[in-house]
Structure 1
Amino acid sequence: MSIISALGLDVGRKRIGIAGCDGTGLIATGLTTLERTSFASDVEQLRCWVQERHVQVLVVGLPYCMNGDLGFQARQVQKFAQGLSRALQLPVEYVDERLTSVEAESLLRAAHLSPSRNRGLIDRTAAALILQQWLDDRRADLVTAKNPSGVG
């Protein structure tokens, strides 16, 4: 399996949670949370992470509606991600992130941290969940491709 350096993004109106993966491409970790100011500023801050981590792909959480439709927020995220892809000259892959923020809040509560006081931590934890899902799906796809019969 080829190792890939990916950046996971949980894009919100006010903040962007950022996650990266380890050198093996197995484990996603929350890195930081950007406070959004302008598209140009967002791009420059993300460009630093991309260069530092030699990123090859952006993995963006897409907030589908619960019925599976792309709502207003999902279309806004797609528009942002497409602009980011052009600006950073990197491919974008999307992951269904419908419940990642809820899951991130649950993880914080389990660690005895207050979700309301740790919005940035929720965003980067959600980004890590998005990236981990992508890494796991990618690994599962590679295993299936190597052994299509499922016997093994």
Structure 2
Amino acid sequence: MNMPAPPIDNEFPSHGRIAAVDYGTVRIGIAVCDPDRILASPLEVHPVTQPDAGGYEADETYFQKLAAEERIAAWVVGLPIHCDGGESDKSVQARQFAIWLSQTTQLPTRLFDERFTTVAANQKIRQAKTTRKKTKQRIDAIAAQVLLESFLEACRYRGEIAGHDATEIAAGGDSLVD
């Protein structure tokens, strides 16, 4: 018999490591910061176990283990927003993933506008002069790093946690444009 998951304390912690996720249906880029939230680094690109089935749920053990091994205190999931502030099917998928991730790991999860992270990631990779193969393998993790750096900077600038709680706007419709 499946027992319901205990409620998640959605209070985003003021300290500890954060992991950022650049969600994709085939690959998921992951970056982490130090416990003092000063430096963000790309960690890895995780291939979705069942991409054809849209089945990130099969990756439950992976994310639970990652959270424990990396001592993650909270997650930030990139929310793809159009330049005009509108959302797409990818936005809905990212919201669903963020809710699932929060429930799976029992950690608070924020959604944060990820506009231009891939552009910035491509610029970083070009500056690093890596090979085309390495670029393709790392771009999602670099995009997650850019997302995390943007999130951390927004938090410092505002003096409060940026983005929105993934569970508060689960139905969509609320804009994350700040």
Same fold (TM over 0.5): yes
Question: Could you tell me how far 1:117 is from its partner in structure 2?
Answer: 5.0
2:38 is the alignment partner of 1:21: no
Question: For residues 140 and 21 of structure 2, what CA distance do their matches in structure 1 show?
Answer: 9
| Number of residue pairs the alignment of both structures matches | 142
- Equivalent in 61, 78, 95 of residue 78 of structure 1: 95
1:48 is matched with: 65
2:153 is matched with: 136
Partner of 2:141: helix, strand, or coil? helix
Question: Could you tell me how far 1:115 is from its partner in structure 2?
Answer: 5.0
Question: For residues 19 and 127 of structure 1, what CA distance do their matches in structure 2 show?
Answer: 5
- Corresponding letter in the other structure for 1:8: A
Structure showing greater relative contact order (alpha-carbon pairs closer than 8 Å, 6 or more residues apart): 1
Question: For residues 63 and 108 of structure 1, what CA distance do their matches in structure 2 show?
Answer: 21
2:122 is the alignment partner of 1:109: no
Question: Could you tell me how far 1:138 is from its partner in structure 2?
Answer: 1.4
Partner of 1:69: helix, strand, or coil? coil
Q: Specify whether residues 117 and 31 from structure 1 end up closer, same or farther in structure 2 by C-alpha distance, changes over 3 A only.
A: closer
Q: Specify whether residues 74 and 64 from structure 1 end up closer, same or farther in structure 2 by C-alpha distance, changes over 3 A only.
A: same
Question: Could you tell me how far 1:39 is from its partner in structure 2?
Answer: 2.1
Q: Percent of pairs identical after alignment?
A: 31
Alignment RMSD: 1.7
Question: For residues 94 and 116 of structure 1, what CA distance do their matches in structure 2 show?
Answer: 30
Question: Could you tell me how far 1:49 is from its partner in structure 2?
Answer: 1.4
Greater per-residue helix proportion: 1
- Equivalent in 40, 61, 67 of residue 78 of structure 2: 61
- Give the TM-score normalised by the residue count of structure 2: 0.74
Kept in 2, the 8 Å contact 1:6–1:21? The answer is yes
- Corresponding letter in the other structure for 2:47: E
Partner of 1:127: helix, strand, or coil? helix
- Equivalent in 39, 42, 48 of residue 36 of structure 1: 48
Kept in 1, the 8 Å contact 2:98–2:111? The answer is no
Structure 1 gap segments, 5+ residues each: 144-152
- Give the TM-score normalised by the residue count of structure 1: 0.85
Question: For residues 68 and 141 of structure 2, what CA distance do their matches in structure 1 show?
Answer: 19
